[in-house]
């Protein structure tokens, strides 16, 4: 579904991504792991058109989207949930959801009801301002807003950031449900244990390179991953 080939991203003289390649198959949850500064967010910024790659190629459903602009992605079927949630603070929950369907024509009342059934808390808060929601509610709203465009691929940037473990649990469960409904998910996470339990496959980044990849199950038991990302000391390594 999504293929990235040798993508290079530079910020001025600094190269942030040294030619990374990966792919996401239809119906998968793929996670990208890495420490701070490894290039995870840069990768997502590149995928969502906020920062154009200076080399390589990105294909979505066979179509070249390397130089597609950020605002064109949502019409193509890729929705991006940006880092830090970025909901509209002075719009109500409902208005935020309506804005999510901006690129679609026709009615979207059913979609809003559907979002309320996935995220019941948003229904209780429907008339409240985005700014007055808690962090977890804002994250749910950000995901729901992205889903309003009916994407085939959902890009999530650090959905667990700054949230209490119980909320993270809920959100990850919902991400699983979203995939079950047929939306492919590409997940960038620092919380490696959670992400790997949910995902099918994972890629591990270091210093702007993808250092290895495997199924999530294998990665969860991989000594290198356990040592670095799961915070467990591995004897004898």
Partner 1 sequence: MRRVWDNPLVRRLMASMAIAVVVAVVTGPPGSSEKPSAGLSGSFAEKSSFFGLFQTRRFVVFVAFALLFWGAWSLWLAWGEMVKFRSTKLLRRPRAVTERRSIRWSAAIVLIVIGFLLPTFVHDPFWQTVMVEQIAIYVLLALGLNVVVGFAGLLDLGFVAFYAIGAYATAWVTGALPTPAPFGGPINPFFAIPIAIVMVMLAGIILGAPTLRLRGDYLAIVTLGFGEIIAIFANNLYGITGGATGTNQIPHFSIHLGPVKYLWGLAPVPYYYLALGFVVLFLVVFSLLEHSRVGRAWTAIREDEVAAESIGINPLKYKVMAFSIGAASSGFAGVMTAAQTNFVSPTSFGLLFSINILVLVIFGGMGSIKGVLIGAIAIQTMSMYLIHTPPAGYQPPDLYIYLGALLVVMMIFRPAGLFPSRRRKREIGLAEAGEGHMDEVLTGDVP
Site of interaction with partner 1 (CB under 8 A): 48, 50, 69-75, 79-82, 86-91, 98-100, 102-103, 129, 131, 145-146, 148-149
Residues 122, 115: contact at Cβ < 8 Å?
yes
Report the interhelical angle of 165-180 vs 109-118 (nearest 10°): 130
* Beta carbon of residue 53, minimum distance to partner 1 (angstroms, whole number): 17
Q: Which is nearer to partner 1, 79 or 194 (CB)?
A: 79
Distance CA 43, CA 5 (A): 12
CB of 42 to partner 1, least distance (A): 15
DSSP assigned state of 188 = E
Residue among 70 and 230 whose Cβ is closer to partner 1: 70
Q: How far is the CB of 132 from partner 1 (least distance, A)?
A: 10
For 39-56, letters b (16+ CB in 10 Å) and e give bbbbbbbbbbbebebeeb
Residue whose CB is less far from partner 1, 146 or 199: 146
Closer to partner 1 by Cβ: residue 138 or 194: 138
Least CB distance to partner 1 at residue 122 (A):
16
Burial class (CB in 10 A: 0-12, 13-18, 19+), 187: buried
């Amino acid at each position: 579904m999504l293929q990235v080939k040798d993508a290079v991203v530079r910020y001025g003289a600094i190269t942030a991504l040294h030619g990374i390649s990966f792919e996401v198959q239809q119906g998968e949850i793929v996670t990208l792991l890495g420490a701070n500064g490894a290039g995870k967010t840069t990768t997502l910024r590149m995928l969502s058109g906020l920062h154009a790659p200076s080399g390589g190629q990105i294909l979505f459903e066979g179509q070249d989207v390397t130089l597609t602009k950020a605002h064109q992605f949502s019409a193509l079927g890729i929705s991006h949930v940006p880092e830090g949630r970025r909901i509209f603070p002075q719009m109500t929950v409902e208005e935020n959801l309506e804005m999510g369907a901006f690129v679609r024509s026709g009615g979207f009342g059913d979609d809003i009801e559907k979002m309320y059934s996935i995220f019941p808390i948003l229904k209780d808060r429907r008339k409240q301002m985005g700014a007055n929601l808690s962090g977890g509610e804002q994250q749910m709203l950000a995901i729901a807003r992205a889903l309003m465009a009916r994407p085939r691929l959902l890009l999530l940037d650090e959905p667990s950031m700054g949230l209490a473990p119980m909320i993270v649990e809920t959100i990850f469960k919902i991400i699983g449900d979203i995939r079950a409904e047929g939306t492919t998910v590409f997940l960038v996470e620092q919380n490696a244990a959670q992400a790997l339990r949910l995902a099918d496959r994972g890629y591990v980044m270091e210093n702007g390179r993808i250092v290895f990849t495997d199924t999530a199950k294998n990665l969860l038991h991989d000594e290198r991953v356990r040592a670095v990302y799961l915070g467990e000391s591995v004897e004898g390594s």
